[in-house]
C-alpha cells in the first residue's frame, strides 16, 4: 500500500489484537492504507516479555517483565511516546479491536458498549482461548485511551450470511440450540477484504462475481462468496474445522476423539491439544513452516511429502465442493502467508483442475506476490489471483465506518 504522498494522514486508527500472552498493534492510515507503526508484545505474564516496535523504518526492542495486558499497553504507549510516532499528532480517531467470536449476534463491526462487552464475555465458551484476551484488550485500552471510540471487529461477522443449510450441524437441534453449536466461521475480516479487493483489481462489480477465497496462513480457511455475500466457509463452530493447517487437523471423524479418549486414555484437554497444536502438516512432518516443509520434501523425506499431499488433497476437495455450491465460479484467490508466497502450493493445488477451468500460468505464478496479481492464463474460464490480505487495514476501515469517518 502506498503512503499519502508524504502528507500526514488526517486520521489514523490504532488496531489492537490481544492474544492470551501477546498484544499486537498497528497504527493505520485507513485512507492511504499505510501501516505507520506496528509491533508486538509477547510473553505477557511470563518472567521476561519482549516488545518489538517498528516505526520510521526502524525496529526498537525492549525486554522486561510485563505482568498483564494493561502493563503491555502502557509499554506500547511509552514506545510511541519515546520512539514515535507521536500518537497525539497522529490524530487517532478510533481504536479497532479484533474479536474472534461474535456468535450469532454480530454481523458487522460495532461500537464497544457495556452490552457488547457482556456479549463477548458470554460467547467465551465458544472461543475460550481468544474472546477472554480480546475482551481484556478492550478493557485495558478503554482505560488507557478513554477519549477515542473503541470498535469491535468480529472474525465471524462476514459469515453471518451463511445459509442455514451451511451453518447448521446435523445434530439434535435442542442440544445445538442450547449450547449454540453451529458453524460461525473465522478469518472473516480477511475473506471479506480479499473478496472486495478482487472486484477492485478486476474492475468488475462485486455483485457479479462468484468467488472462492483460500486464506492459507498458519491457520487456513476457504470461503465461497456469491456477489460479495459469504455462502460457505470451511471453519466451523471453532477454527479447527476444515482445511489441513499448520498445526490443526481440520476435518476429522469426530469418532477419533471418542476412540482416543476411550482406548488411548487421553483426556479431552490432551485431545484438544493434539488436534489444535500437534496436527496438520506439523503433526505429519514435524514442520509447520512451508519453507521448511519444502526443504524436507526436496531432501526426500517421505513424511513431509505425505503432509504436503494431504494438505493439497484437502484443498482440492474444498475447491470442488465450493465450485458445486456456487454453481459457476469466476475467481479463485490465494491469500495469507502460504497463499501469497508459496508458488509451489499454488501450482500444485490446481493440478488436475483444468476440467473446471482452473489453471495457472507458470510464469505468472512464479515467486512471492506482494501486490494483487493475476496468475491464470489469458482467457482462462476462472481467473486465479493472488491478493495479499491486510486484516489490520480492514479493521481500521471498518472502525472508520462505525464512527462515521
Task: Return the number of other C-beta atoms located less than 10 Å from residue 336's C-beta.
Answer: 23
Contact 393, 13 (CB under 8 A): no
Active site residue 81: no
Check residue 8 and report its DSSP letter. P
Closest approach of Cβ 248 to ligand ADP, in Å? 10
Q: Which residues touch 238 (CB under 8 Å, ≥6 apart)?
A: 126, 127, 186
Which grid coordinates are listed for 300? 526426500
- Among 30, 103, 337, 388, which residue interacts with ligand ADP (rule: CB under 6 A)? 337
In the complex, what is the shortest distance from the CB of residue 267 to ligand ADP, in angstroms, rounded to a whole number? 27
| 336 lines the binding site for ligand ADP (CB under 6 A) | yes
Q: What is the largest CA-CA distance in the chain?
A: 65
For ligand ADP, give the closer residue by CB, 110 or 338: 338
**Residues within the annotated binding site for Mg(2+)?**
17, 391
Is 291 a binder of ligand ADP (CB under 6 A)? yes
Task: Name which position in 251, 270, 272, 289 contacts ligand ADP (CB under 6 A).
Answer: 289
Quickly count: other Cβ atoms within 10 Å of residue 150's Cβ: 26
CA distance 281 to 248: 8
Q: Measure the CA–CA gap between 73 and 79, rounded to whole angstroms.
A: 10
When the beta carbons of 93 and 127 are compared against ligand ADP, the nearer one is: 127
Our finding on whether 342 is near ligand ADP (CB under 6 A) is yes
Using an 8 Å Cβ cutoff, are 89 and 76 in contact? no
Q: Rounded to the nearest whole angstrom, what is the least distance from the CB of residue 136 to ligand ADP in the complex? A: 20
Per-residue binding letters, 360-379, with ligand ADP (x by CB under 6 A): --------x-----------
Shortest distance, position 217 Cβ to ligand ADP, whole Å: 2
Of 149 and 286, the one with the shorter C-beta distance to ligand ADP is 286
The catalytic residue among 81, 107, 147, 155 is 155
Q: Binders of ligand ADP among 224-263, rule CB under 6 A?
A: 246
Nearer to ligand ADP, 109 or 219 (CB): 219
Which residues are part of a known binding site? 17, 24, 98, 215-219, 289-291, 337-341, 391
Q: Which residue has the closest beta carbon to ligand ADP? A: 337
Would you list the DSSP string of 146-207?
Answer: TTS-EEEEETTGGGGGS-HHHH--SS-HHHHHHTT-S---S-HHHHHHHHHHHHHHHT--GG
Q: How many CB atoms lie within 10 A of CB 151?
A: 26
Rounded distance, CA 358 to CA 377, Å?
Answer: 10
What are 332's three cell numbers? Answer: 479463485
**Which residue shows C-alpha cell 482416543?**
260
For ligand ADP, which stretch binds (CB under 6 A), given 6-14, 60-68, 147-155, 338-346?
338-346
Residue closer to ligand ADP, measured from CB, 267 or 370: 370
Residue 220 and residue 245 in contact, taking contact as beta carbons nearer than 8 Å: yes
Nearer to ligand ADP, 56 or 291 (CB): 291
Binding residues for ATP: 24, 215-219, 289-291, 337-341
Which H or E run contains 396? helix 391-403
10-18, 42-50, 149-157, 216-224 -> range binding ligand ADP (CB under 6 A): 216-224
d(C-alpha 255, C-alpha 352), whole Å? 32
Q: How many residues contact ligand ADP, by CB under 6 A?
A: 14
Does residue 124 belong to the site contacting ligand ADP (CB under 6 A)?
Answer: no
User: What amino acid positions are annotated as catalytic residues?
Assistant: 155
Binding interface with ligand ADP (CB under 6 A): 217-219, 246, 288-291, 336-338, 341-342, 368
Amino acid at each position: 500500500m502506498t503512503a499519502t504522498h508524504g502528507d500526514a494522514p488526517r486520521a489514523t486508527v490504532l488496531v489492537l489484537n490481544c492474544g492470551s500472552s501477546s498484544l499486537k498493534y498497528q497504527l493505520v492510515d485507513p485512507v492511504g492504507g499505510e501501516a505507520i507503526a506496528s509491533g508486538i508484545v509477547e510473553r505477557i505474564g511470563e518472567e521476561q516479555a519482549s516488545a518489538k516496535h517498528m516505526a520510521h523504518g526502524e525496529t526498537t526492542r525492549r525486554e522486561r517483565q510485563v505482568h498483564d495486558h494493561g502493563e503491555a499497553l502502557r509499554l506500547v504507549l511509552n514506545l510511541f511516546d519515546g520512539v514515535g510516532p507521536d500518537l497525539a499528532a497522529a490524530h487517532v480517531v478510533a481504536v479497532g479491536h479484533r474479536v474472534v467470536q461474535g456468535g450469532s449476534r454480530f454481523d458487522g463491526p460495532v461500537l464497544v458498549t457495556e452490552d457488547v462487552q457482556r456479549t463477548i464475555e458470554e460467547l467465551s465458551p465458544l472461543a475460550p482461548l481468544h474472546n477472554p484476551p480480546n475482551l481484556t484488550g478492550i478493557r485495558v485500552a478503554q482505560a488507557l485511551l478513554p477519549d477515542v471510540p473503541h470498535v469491535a471487529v468480529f472474525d465471524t461477522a462476514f459469515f453471518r450470511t451463511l445459509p442455514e443449510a451451511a451453518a447448521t450441524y446435523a445434530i439434535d437441534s435442542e442440544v445445538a440450540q442450547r449450547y449454540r453449536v453451529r458453524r460461525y466461521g473465522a478469518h472473516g475480516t480477511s475473506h471479506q477484504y480479499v473478496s472486495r479487493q478482487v472486484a477492485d483489481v478486476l474492475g468488475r462489480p462485486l455483485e457479479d462475481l462468484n468467488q472462492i477465497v483460500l486464506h492459507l496462513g498458519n491457520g487456513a480457511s476457504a470461503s465461497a462468496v456469491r456477489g460479495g455475500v459469504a455462502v460457505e466457509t470451511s471453519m466451523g463452530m471453532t477454527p479447527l474445522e476444515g482445511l489441513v493447517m499448520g498445526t490443526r487437523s481440520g476435518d476429522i471423524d469426530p469418532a477419533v476423539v471418542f476412540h482416543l479418549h476411550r482406548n488411548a486414555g487421553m483426556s479431552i484437554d490432551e485431545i484438544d491439544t493434539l488436534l489444535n497444536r500437534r496436527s496438520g502438516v506439523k503433526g505429519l512432518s514435524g514442520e509447520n513452516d512451508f519453507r521448511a516443509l519444502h526443504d524436507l520434501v526436496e531432501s526426500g523425506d517421505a513424511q513431509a511429502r505425505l503432509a504436503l499431499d494431504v494438505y493439497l488433497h484437502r484443498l482440492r476437495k474444498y475447491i470442488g465442493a465450493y465450485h458445486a455450491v456456487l454453481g459457476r465460479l469466476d475467481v479463485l484467490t490465494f491469500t495469507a502467508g502460504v497463499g501469497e508466497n508459496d508458488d509451489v502450493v499454488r501450482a500444485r493445488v490446481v493440478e488436475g483442475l483444468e476440467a473446471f477451468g482452473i489453471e495457472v500460468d507458470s510464469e505468472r505464478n512464479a515467486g512471492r506476490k506482494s501486490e494483487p496479481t493475476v496468475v491464470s492464463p489469458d482467457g482462462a474460464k476462472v481467473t486465479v489471483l493472488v491478493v495479499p490480505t491486510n486484516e489490520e487495514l480492514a479493521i481500521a476501515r471498518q472502525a472508520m465506518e462505525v464512527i462515521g469517518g
